[in-house]
Amino acid sequence: MTVRTRFAPSPTGFLHLGGARTALYSWAYARRFGGTFILRIEDTDVERSTPEAVQAIIDGMAWLGLQHDEGPFYQMRHMDRYREVIQKMLDEGTAYYCYSSAEEVEAMRERQRAAGEKWRYDGTWRPEPGKTLPPIPAGRQPVVRFKNALTGDVTWNDLVKGPITISNEEMDDLIIARSDGTPTYNFCVVVDDWDMKITHVIRGDDHVNNTPRQINILRALGATLPQYAHLPMILGADGEKLSKRHGAVSVMDYPEQGYLPEAVLNYLARLGWSHGDDEIFSMEQFCEWFDLDHLSKSAAQFNMEKMAWLNNHYIRQADDARLEKLVLPFLQRDGAKLEDAPALQPVIALLKERVNTIAELADAAMLFYRDPQPEAALLSQHLNDASRAALADYLQQCKAVEWNREALSAVMKGVLSSHKLKMPQLAMPLRLVLTGQLQTPSIDAVVHLLGRETVLARLQKYI
Ligand code: GLU
């Protein structure tokens, strides 16, 4: 058997972390077994589906690098096929026309509610051997219902949740085509899973209730059943449903915030699946390890700090040329003056250890790409006769020194000792006049990267 998995989002909003994790697991499972991963856009809810949401899914998947092997398929383009299967089911008697009007169905509902019963279509139009159906009301367009078994039950061995059994009595004769002929959600999923020869349906556990219905229809069609793995949901850091404040943002917000795709993927891989204590691993490694036996049975909890920690790891690993490309748009947005300024890559090399996102990297790098505007109050606090004299001496020596960190460090030490000052007494004013701020990476590194000309010009103003 060749593994065939699919990711089947409804394009009604952005692709969020939950969807991305489902996609990741489906993708990785196919990769693990040399199978095929299919992208299917479930766009039959025409009121709620939008082209922007389709694009957001495609962009999100591309950014994460979850390449599909087939598709994207759009359900709206499969209408003829759905109609054909509905006709086949009508012909074979596994589905039937139901002429009950909306009002009649509502009245049915009311009666059942009053009697304290669970809602169930009462079977008025359900054909049975020897049963005479009512006369067809003139001019009424019927819906098509699936003829669900009345007794017995449906059992499947869910690959996450274990065996699940649902009694057919719990299930209704599902509408598979509306009165305007359009097929309904569960039906389209079934036909596509069947046609696409899906072997493993990996999806969120909000679909568990659909599964027995889908299995019954698949059986009625004589289809081979896929296996099902229903993933527990992702909760927000507060233990509640994932909310905007806790991770329920579009996947495409993560590059905006300066996350690397490998950090998000690594984070999602571990969010609901484990391989011993391994926390940091590549997607290549993940695809070798991934199985459905080590999926967590309980809901996962989103943890922003952990994702930031992973992002820091991958930023440190990333090469500076790649980071340069990523940080540039952030710097441009912040109004960085990139001309006649230090080269970006050495600045990145200096700063990348300590940042969690590319946005933070840009913030830290701005130090080198704007004119310093030290606050007057800070200047008067840190500049006095002693420090000015030391700065003047430092300036003088900077004119001739060989421009590298070791030599600059020696200059600094020499000035400190001849002026009998402690490190902060020179380093703080130096930071202030060179960068406008008191917190910077090592002052020698900053001086070195700023370059001789800039350092001399900035010092000159204060002496
Ligand atoms: N279209 C469904 C959703 O976005 C998923 C259906 C499925 O995976 O079977 O929730």
> Tens digit of pLDDT for each residue in 379-421?
999 999 999 999 999 999 999 999 999 999 999 999 999 999 9
Q: How far is CA 403 from CA 171, 205, 288, 399, in A?
A: 79, 62, 49, 9
Average pLDDT, integer, range 219-236: 96
Q: Residue 58, Cβ neighbours under 10 Å: how many?
A: 16
How many A from CA of 14 to the centre of ligand 1?
14
Model confidence band, residue 237 (pLDDT cutoffs 50, 70, 90):
confident
Task: Report the pLDDT value the prediction gives residue 433, as an integer from 0 to 100.
Answer: 97
Task: Record the tokens describing residue 28, joined without a space.
Answer: 């990785």
8 lines ligand 1 (CB under 6 A): yes
Taking the C-alpha atoms of residue 306 and residue 237, their distance in angstroms, rounded to an integer, is: 11
How many A from CA of 41 to the centre of ligand 1?
9
Model confidence band, residue 244 (pLDDT cutoffs 50, 70, 90):
low
Q: Residue 307, Cβ neighbours under 10 Å: how many?
A: 22
Task: Record the tokens describing residue 143, joined without a space.
Answer: 């819906």
3-state secondary structure of 92: helix
What percentage of the chain reaches a pLDDT higher than 70?
A: 99
State yes or no: pLDDT of 16 exceeds 70: yes
Q: CATH: 1.10.8, 3.90.220, 1.20.140, 1.10.357. Which one for 318-368?
A: 1.10.8
pLDDT tens digits, one per residue of 452-461: 999 999 999 9
Task: Record the tokens describing residue 137, joined without a space.
Answer: 């009301």
CATH class, range 1-73+185-317: alpha beta
Q: Is 297 a catalytic residue?
A: no
- Residue-wise burial string across 119-139, b where 16 or more C-beta atoms lie within 10 A, e elsewhere: eebebebbeeeeeeeeeeeee
Q: CATH: 1.10.10.350, 3.40.50.12140, 1.10.3720.10, 1.10.760.10. Which one for 376-460?
A: 1.10.10.350
The answer to which of 196-200, 300-304, 318-322, 360-364 has the lowest mean pLDDT is: 300-304
Do the Cβ atoms of 370 and 336 come closer than 8 Å? yes
Q: How far is CA 198 from CA 7, 152, 154, 423, in A?
A: 11, 26, 20, 68
42 lines ligand 1 (CB under 6 A): yes
Task: Report the pLDDT value the prediction gives residue 412, as an integer from 0 to 100.
Answer: 97
State yes or no: pLDDT of 243 exceeds 80: no
Sign of torsion over alpha carbons 12, 14, 16, 20: positive
3-state secondary structure of 197: coil
Task: Report the pLDDT value the prediction gives residue 236, as an integer from 0 to 100.
Answer: 87
State yes or no: pLDDT of 249 exceeds 90: no
Sign of torsion over alpha carbons 159, 160, 165, 169: negative
pLDDT tens digits, one per residue of 328-378: 999 999 999 999 999 999 999 999 999 999 999 999 999 999 999 999 999
Q: Does domain 80-177 have CATH number 3.30.457.10?
A: no
Closest CA to 16 of 244, 295, 310, 201: 244
Q: Residue 221, Cβ neighbours under 10 Å: how many?
A: 15
Average pLDDT, integer, range 433-457: 97
192 lines ligand 1 (CB under 6 A): no
Do the Cβ atoms of 58 and 68 come closer than 8 Å? no
Task: Report the pLDDT value the prediction gives residue 245, as an integer from 0 to 100.
Answer: 67
1-73+185-317 matches 80-177 in fold: no
Angle between helices 358-365 and 344-351 (to 10 degrees): 110
Break the chain into its structural domains and give their ranges. 1-73+185-317, 80-177, 318-368, 376-460
The pTM score is: 0.93
Ligand 1 atom having least distance to the Cα of 214: 9
Strand order from edge to edge, sheet including 175-177: 95-98, 143-146, 175-177
Do the Cβ atoms of 361 and 324 come closer than 8 Å? no
pLDDT tens digits, one per residue of 81-137: 999 999 999 999 999 999 999 999 999 999 999 999 888 899 999 999 999 999 999
